[in-house]
Amino acid sequence: MLQSMREGARSPWILVVIGLIVLSFVLTGAESLTFNGSQSGAAEVNGEEISVNELQFAIERQRRQLSEIYGDQIDPSFLDDDLLRPSVLNGLIEQALLSDYAEALAIAPSPRAVGRAITSNPAFQLEGAFSADYYRDILRSNGLTNAQYRADQENLDRLQKLQSFVSDASFVTPMETQASINVAAERRDVRYLVIEEASLVAEEALSDSAIVDYYDANRAAFAQPERVVARYILLTPDMYTKPVDPEEVQAQLAAALAEYDAKAESEVAHVLITQMDDEDDESYQSRITAASARLAAGEEFATIAQELSDDIGSASLGGDLGYTDGSVFPDAMESAIEALAVGEISDAVETDAGTHFILLKQRTAAAQVADDVLKAEIEGNLQATQAERDLLLAVDKLRDAAFTSDTLSLASNELGVQVRVSTPFSRDTGADLFSEMALREAAFSDDVFVDNNNSDVIELSGSRFVALRVGERLPEGYKTLDEVKEDILATLEQKAREGELAALVADVNQALADGDTLEAIADKKGLQWRVELAATRQNTLLPPEVLQAAFSKAADDTNSVTSVDVSSAGYALVQLARVTPGSEETLLTAERQSLVDEVQQVQSDLLFTEFLADLRRRGTVIVR
């Protein structure tokens, strides 16, 4: 969906500002959301269906985007269809609702704006300039055609205009502006004591007897379900990756080089005239004739493309379409290109896209790939193909042996692989390979767990295949003291710290009530104390936790401390010493304008969010 719909407040103080803004939204009412499992589509919005294929394509696109952003750092479980489906489907529903409303308002996309959005997108640029070849390659890799992508961008353009219409209706009153300034410019004097973590734990709280007492008093917390230890055989592609026949590599390399030598590529540009929905045949033909006349008169092709072409993506590049080897463009275009001489312009060429005038800029042999690069690619492909074939043959043998034998030894001997032993796992949790639910379900199935048979061969992601049997059954019971001792020790340490910290806070607050200063209390208790004067919400000198605690306290709460966990250094006891109200005079003009703009953006986002919720309440949304 639209990026700005996803943006929230962009700094801590803005959360306070939102609380001061008097909203006119009424966030009540039931959404017209009906669930029905008897139909075929994924959802229906105001009578228009969102197909299962459309949903699956959107899920795959979301998965690819997440993988590109986070790479190997992302947990594979986050990319599961079941986890992605609700948010992706909700996004499609929101888009459908907005598109339906935009259509009702007759909001039309701007072809030139769409073209500019495509050519200015950094994702389609090489060395800072739009590349038509790179653009097409990226679309192909994402399973999109140019027409599909342009249609998506046209719809996005409509939705952006709709959002602009709605968001522009928001406003910020002078009172809200002043309240925001008061909050943003407020300054606070902060004192705090530094408490080292180690100073809060008494040794007696961590004694062996304390650990045993905790274990005895909390036995129910250490209960564990029935578990099993599995014996299993794992087959992976790596196990069957081996060197390939050098003669086969050389044969394929020679064939590939011959193909490269035989191929030639043509660099072309075009002027495309497309008949618009509201354009009659006469006007359309008149534009074609005008373009033809200017080309025949010898005017610069790039200039004509920039002025007349309806293909905005190429028009900004003088009509450049990049290279074709005879298979990139529709047949009619490829036939015309083949018949052209370098520098020659074709007559009008008709395709489904419209009428083209094509310029052949140059012909060149295909760029030669380095022999070693091509050889490595061929070796890799042959190796992968060979490994896949051998793996599948091994899987067939494993399947047969697991079915006909009451152990895994036969399969192990036939395949020359070892039988592995898992760590204990339950129906709900397991480690390493047995974090895979499919394996746990197989191990606890009646056929394997009750009848003591080998499992079927189970295929996992990454072309991994597993056959297993139960090796040892561990009944439900309680973890031993040795198994949980470290966990108990950590729990006792935390409880001891919390108790000591609470007692220290009470002691300090009593001393403050009796008239002592925080400095005097620190000296008596041998603690460090620190102060920061006139701190703002953007202060970077204070630990973030201390800053947040200081600005969370009521302005008149100056005679008590609040404890906070400081990630960089133990704990802190924070006292608010003085509050200086915010003043517009303390802000630079640019700071004030930035603040007003941010409040306005928050209001705009809130208004658009409520507008979208209202569309959903008034519309008919059926999720199947």
Are 3-176+593-623 and 264-365 the same fold in CATH? no
- 10-residue mean pLDDT profile of the chain (624 residues): values are 34 37 32 43 88 86 81 75 88 90 86 78 81 78 75 85 86 82 86 88 79 92 93 94 83 71 78 90 94 93 90 83 86 93 94 94 70 76 86 93 91 93 93 92 94 94 92 91 91 90 94 94 93 90 93 93 89 94 77 81 87 90 85
Q: How far is the C-alpha of 561 from the C-alpha of 124, rounded, in Å? A: 55
Residues 535, 582: contact at Cβ < 8 Å? no
Rg (CA), the chain: 35
pLDDT score, position 258: 65
Q: What is the DSSP letter of 146?
A: H
What is the dihedral sign for C-alpha 123, 126, 129, 135? Answer: negative
Phi, psi of 365, rounded to the nearest 5 degrees: -65, 150
- In 3D space, the residue among 609, 605, 546, 603 whose CA is nearest the CA of residue 574 turns out to be 546
If you ran DSSP here, which 8-state letter would residue 191 be given?
A: E
Cα–Cα distance measured from residue 536 to residue 564, given in angstroms and rounded to the nearest whole number: 19
Of 482, 509, 485, whose CA–CA distance to 574 is shortest?
A: 509
Element (H, E) at 510: helix 481-513
Question: Looking at the domain covering 3-176+593-623, what would its CATH class be?
Answer: mainly alpha
Strand ranges (DSSP E) for 476-527? 477-478
CATH topology of domain 226-244+372-475: Chitinase A; domain 3 (3.10.50)
Q: What residues contact 206, with CB distance under 8 A and at least 6 apart?
A: 489, 492, 493, 496
CB atoms within 10 A of CB 46: 17
8-state DSSP, 341:
P
d(CA 530, CA 189) in angstroms, rounded, equals 11
Under 8 Å between Cβ of 50 and 96: yes
Tell me if 219 sits within 8 A of 478, measured CB to CB: yes
Rounded to whole angstroms, how far apart are CA atoms 18 and 41? 40
* Tokens, residue 80: 């599961």
Q: Are 415 and 393 in contact (CB under 8 A)?
A: no
Q: What is the pLDDT of residue 184?
A: 79
What separation in angstroms does the CA of 586 have from each of 175, 184, 203? 18, 10, 52
Task: Give the C-alpha separation, 622 to 624, whole Å.
Answer: 6
Q: What is the dihedral of CA 140, 141, 142, 143, to 10 degrees?
A: 50
Task: Give domain limits for the chain.
Answer: 3-176+593-623, 187-221+483-580, 226-244+372-475, 264-365
At 317, the amino acid letter reads L
CA distance 452 to 441: 14
The answer to whether 163 touches 2, Cβ cutoff 8 Å, is yes
| Contact status, residue 461 vs residue 407, Cβ threshold 8 Å | no
Residues 6+ apart with CB under 8 A from 512: 518, 521, 559, 560, 561, 575
Q: Which residues, 6+ apart, have CB-to-CB distance to 496 below 8 Å?
A: 200, 201, 202, 205, 206
Distance separating alpha carbons of residues 490 and 570, to the nearest angstrom: 16
Tell me how far apart the alpha carbons of residues 347 and 296 are, in angstroms, rounded to a whole number: 10
What pLDDT is recorded for position 138? 81
Query: Hey, what CATH class is 264-365 in?
Result: alpha beta
C-alpha neighbours within 13 Å on the C-beta side of residue 54? 18
